[in-house]
Structure 1
Amino acid sequence: MTLNEILHIRNVRCFLIFRSSYFARFYYPVFTLLYLDYGLTLSQFAMLNVVWAATIVLAEVPSGAFADTLGRKKLVVLSSLVMFIEIAMIAFVPTGNATLVFSVFLVNRVLSGLAMALASGADEALAYDTLKEQGKEELWPRVLQIQLRLSSGIGIFVTLIGAAMYDVEFMTRIFDSLGLVAPESTKDLMRIPVFATLIVALVAMYAAFGMREDTPVLPSSDNKLATIQASLRVTLNAGRWVLSTPYVLFILLYYSLFEHTSRMFLTMDSQYYRAIDIPIIYFGFIGAGVSVLKILFAGQSRRLAESMAPKTFIVTMGIATMATYYWISLGWSLYGVIPALVLIFIIMTMNIFVSYHLNKKTESYNRATVLSFKGLMFNLGYGSIGVLYAYYYKRLSQQYSPEEIEQHIDFIASLSSFFYYFTFLFIATSVFFYINNEKTKIF
């Protein structure tokens, strides 16, 4: 089936547009720096992301169940609306009062987590079931590959422009050409990438409203209480199924470990790049390089995910990830970018592997709910590592002088924690897997 024919499938097309625009955020290349410029500390930044993860944990699975009962399109549409509101909050918040800023960012993180939970599983289930209804579900890995390449292509533009929007020297030239007062620091520029993202949020809303759901997944009921009860039953049944299906359970456990550890590090990548002496203007080029990497290696990631035996795949990715975190912990100037790129390739491949195997093992009637458990397990891990890192960094930074902190020596020293954290949990999960696999073959 050609690319053009795939794009003519309405829900698949809207899914691709929604996913690509939902994560096309101009402030991502400078995410950590943006928070710090608004007046937050690195520990507050880590804790706000814990709040984000905790919100998703509380809303993820119930939202997936409601998607399977009330309708998946409704949740995707609501997600896009909440996304627009949470971005607008930080676009317009005044920065004179530190308490107000933290409070607004706290609400922002709650709404952001809620928006993520509402869409998680629902958009994917809509697209996958459309393919399945047409007898084309074997195309799903190709759709994921297309989505990866499309998002990466858009990501090249977004990251280059987003980083440039935050570079004082570059923006001074732009301001001068427009006859405006030149910015003195990044604090004068911090809202520009946020406003740009607010415009992209409108595209996500357009795609969400464009999706179609002809029939409810489960029998509908005029009684709202009955519908809620049906949603809870779906949640409990899906939870029991996940726990009683070792194949799915261990895929989710490994996914959560790989994803939440990498996400914690990559959330702080702008601080990492600054710590290894990379100018802000180059953050965009790094982000563009990441997008090019995804485009070039998306096919290879798909082939690895489809062709490698699960045990071989997980062991290979695990060893590669441990080596990558060790390399990152060295804090090499400039060359430290390479392990960050390797980590992104590993996680990209892992995501395709997990989606491929989960969708193969899950029935249509509770697909969104099971996919929500995937998000639930990730965010439980992300919340945990956020709390641990915030506590560890706060204690560690007390051992350094203000001058050393200014040089980011304390931040570089904290990076070894990622290697030890991942290695310990990977070995522990693998031992648990080995014991269970001895009783009943899992893979």
Structure 2
Amino acid sequence: MTLKEILKIRNVRYFLMFRSSYFARFYYPIFTLLYLDYGLTLSQFAMLNVVWAATIVLAEVPSGAFADTLGRKKLVVLSSIVMFIEIAMIAVVPTEDPNLVFIVFLINRILSGLAMALASGADEALAYDTLKEQGKEELWPRILQIQLRVASTVGIFVTLIGAAMYDVNFMANLYHILGLAKPENTQDLMRIPVYATLFVAMIAIYSAINMREQKKVLPSNQTKLATTLTSLKLTATTAKWVIATPYVLFILLYYSLFEHTSRMFLTMNSQYYLAIDIPIIYFGFIGAGISLLKIILAGQSRILAESMAPKTFIALMGIATMATYYWISLGWSIYGVIPALILIFIIMTMNIFISYHLNKKTESRNRATVLSFKGLMFNLGYGMIGILYAYYYKLVSQNYTSEEIEQNIDFLASLSSFFYYFTFLFLSISAVFYFRNKRKAIF
């Protein structure tokens, strides 16, 4: 089936558009720096991300169950609207009062977590079930590959432009051409990437509205309250099914470990790049390089995910990830970018593997709920590592002077925690898997 024929499938087409626009955030290349420029501390930044993860944990699975019973499109549309609101809040918040800034960012993180929970599983379930209705579900890994390439292509432009928007020298030249007063520091520029993201958020709303789903008609004897209770019951039933199905359970455990550990590091990548002496203007080129890497290697990721035996694949990815985190912990100037790129490839490949095997083992009636458990387990891990890292960083930073902290030496010293954390949990999960698999084969 050609790409043109695939794009004629309406829900697949708008799924690709939704995913590409939903995560096209111009402030991602300078995410940590943006929060600090608004007046927040690094500790507040870490705790706000814990709040974000906690919100998703609370909303993730119930939202998936509501998607399965009340309608998936409704949740995707609502998610895109909530996303627009949470970005608009930080676009207009005054920065004179630090307490007000923190409160607004706290609400922003709650709404952002809610938006992620609402969309998680529902958009994917809409696209996958459309394929299944047409007897084309074997195309799903290829569609994930296409989605990765489309999102990465968009990501090239977003990261290049986003980083350039935050570079004082580049923007000073642009302001001069436009006849505007030159910016003196990044705080004069911090809202520009946010405004640009607001525009892209409208594209996400448009794509969500244009998805199609058969209208769910409630039985004449069933009220919305009864349907809600059915949703919660489905959540509990699905939880029992996940726990009772070792294949799915271990797929989700490994997914959560790989994803939440890498996400925690990549959330702070702008701080990492700054610590290894990379100028801000190059953040965009690194981001564009990452997107280009995804485009080039997406096919190889799909082939690895589909062709390798699950145990071999997970073992290979685990060893590679441990080596990568160790390399990152060395804090090599400039060359420290290489392990960050390797980590991107590992996670990209792992995501295709997880989605392929999880959808294959899940029935349509509770697909969105199960996919929401995927998000739930990730965010439980993300919240846990956020708290642990914030505490560990505080302990480490006490051993350094203010001058060393300003040079990010304490931050580089804290990165070894990622190697120890991932290695311990990977070996622990693998040990449990080994003994369970010995009694009865899982994979």
Aligned partner of 1:382 in structure 2 is 382
1:169-184 to 2 correspondence within 5 Å? 169-184=169-184
Q: Which runs of 5+ in 2 are unaligned?
A: none
Structure 2 length as normaliser, TM-score?
0.99
With over 3 angstroms needed to count, the CA separation of the structure-2 counterparts of 1:385 and 1:400, relative to structure 1, is same
Q: Secondary structure at the match of 1:207?
A: helix
Residue 186, structure 1, aligned to residue 165, structure 2: no
CA distance in 2, matches of 1:337, 1:309: 30
Q: Deviations over 1:265-294 (max 9, x none)?
A: 000000000000000000000000000000
Correspondence 1:289 to 2:292: no
Give the deviation of 1:342 after TM superposition.
0.2
For the aligned residue pairs, the C-alpha RMSD in angstroms reads 1.0
Residue 135 (1) aligns with residue 135 (2): yes
Q: State the aligned residue count.
A: 443
Distance 1:438 1:217, change over 3 A: farther
TM-score (norm 1): 0.99
User: Which residue of 2 is the match for residue 17 of structure 1?
Assistant: 17
The 10-residue stretch of structure 1 (38-47 or 268-277) with the greater mean CA deviation from structure 2: 38-47
Cα contact 1:128–1:137 (8 A) shared by 2: yes
Query: What whole-Å deviation, never above 9, does each CA across 1:219-272 have from its counterpart, x for those lacking one?
Result: 687511111111011101110110000000000000000000000000000000
Aligned to 1:359, what secondary structure does the other structure show? Answer: helix
Structure 2 match to 1:151: 151
Alignment pair present for 1:323 and 2:323:
yes
Distance 1:135 1:89 in 2: 43
Aligned residue in 2 for 1:81: 81
| Counterpart Cα distance in 1 of 2:266 and 2:80 | 24
CA–CA distance in structure 2, aligned partners of residues 143 and 315 of structure 1: 26
Q: Render the CA deviation track for 1:125-165: whole Å, top value 9, x for unaligned.
A: 00000000000000000110000000000000000000000
Residue 216 of structure 1 and its aligned partner are, at CA, apart by 3.0
Match of 1:340 in 2: 340
- Note the residue ranges of structure 1 that are not aligned, 5 or more in a row: none
CA distance in 1: counterparts of 2:116 and 2:70, whole angstroms: 18
Q: What CA deviation, in whole Å up to 9, does each residue of 1:347-398 have, x standing for no partner?
A: 0000000000000000000000000000000000000000001111112111
Q: CA separation in 2, counterparts of 1:243 and 1:435? A: 16
SS of 1:326 mapped into structure 2: helix
Shift of 1:37: 0.5
Q: CA deviation at 1:175?
A: 0.3
SS of the equivalent of 1:418 reads helix
For 2:337 and 2:141, the matched residues in 1 are separated by: 29
Q: Do the aligned partners of residues 217 and 356 (structure 1) sit closer, same or farther apart at CA in structure 2, a change above 3 Å counting? A: farther
* Distance (Å, rounded) in 2 between the aligned partners of 1:173 and 1:222: 64
CA drift of 1:215 comes to: 4.0
Q: In 2 relative to 1, CA 220–438 (structure 1 residues): closer, same or farther, beyond 3 Å?
A: farther
For residues 304-361 of structure 1, what are the alpha-carbon distances to aligned partners after superposition, in whole Å with 9 as ceiling and x for unaligned? 0000000000000000000000000000000000000000000000000000000000
Paired amino acid for 1:69: T
- Helix, strand or coil for the counterpart of 2:399? coil
- C-alpha separation between the residues in 2 aligned to 1:168 and 1:76? 37
Q: Return the alpha-carbon distance in structure 2 between the equivalents of residues 17 and 148 of structure 1.
A: 11
User: Structure 1 counterpart of 2:296, which letter?
Assistant: L
Q: Which moved more, 1:245-254 or 1:390-399?
A: 390-399
Equivalent pairs: percent with the same residue? Answer: 80
> Following superposition of structure 1 onto structure 2, how do residues 231-242 of structure 1 map, counting pairs within 5 Å?
231-242=231-242
Partner Cα distance (2:100, 2:396) in 1: 28
The ranges of structure 1 where at least 4 consecutive aligned residues each deviate by more than 4 angstroms after the TM superposition are 217-222
Residue 42 of structure 1, CA deviation: 1.0
Paired residue for 1:399?
399
Q: Give the aligned partner of residue 304 of structure 1.
A: 304
- The residue matched to 1:422 in structure 2 has which SS? helix
> Which secondary structure does the structure 2 equivalent of 1:49 belong to?
helix
Q: Which amino acid aligns with 2:24?
A: A
Q: 2 CA distance for matches of 1:289 and 1:409? A: 26
- Partner residue, 2:227: 227
Q: Could you say if the C-alpha distance between residues 358 and 442 of structure 1 is closer, same or farther in structure 2, counting changes exceeding 3 Å?
A: same
Distance in 2 (CA, whole Å) between partners of 1:221 and 1:379 is 37
The 1:96–1:249 alpha-carbon spacing in structure 2 relative to 1, beyond 3 Å, is: same
Is 1:91 paired with 2:91? yes
Q: Which moved more, 1:229-238 or 1:72-81?
A: 229-238
Other structure's SS at 1:344 match: helix
Residue pair 1:220, 1:227 contacting (<8 A) in 2 also: no
1:54-65 equivalences under 5 Å are 54-65=54-65
Q: Which amino acid aligns with 1:22?
A: Y
Could you tell me how far apart the structure 1 residues matched to 2:228 and 2:292 are? 44
Query: Residues of 2 paired with 1:250 and 1:20: CA distance?
Result: 29
Aligned to 1:421: 421
CA contact (8 A) 1:217 1:365 kept: no
Q: Against the structure 1 CA distance between its residues 2 and 236, is the aligned structure 2 distance closer, same or farther, given a 3 Å change threshold?
A: same
Structure-2 change in CA distance of 1:217 and 1:386 (3 Å) = farther
Alignment of 1:155-170 (within 5 A): 155-170=155-170
Distance 1:27 1:145 in 2: 25
* Deviations 1:41-82 (CA, angstroms, capped at 9, x unpaired): 111111100000000000000000000001000000000000
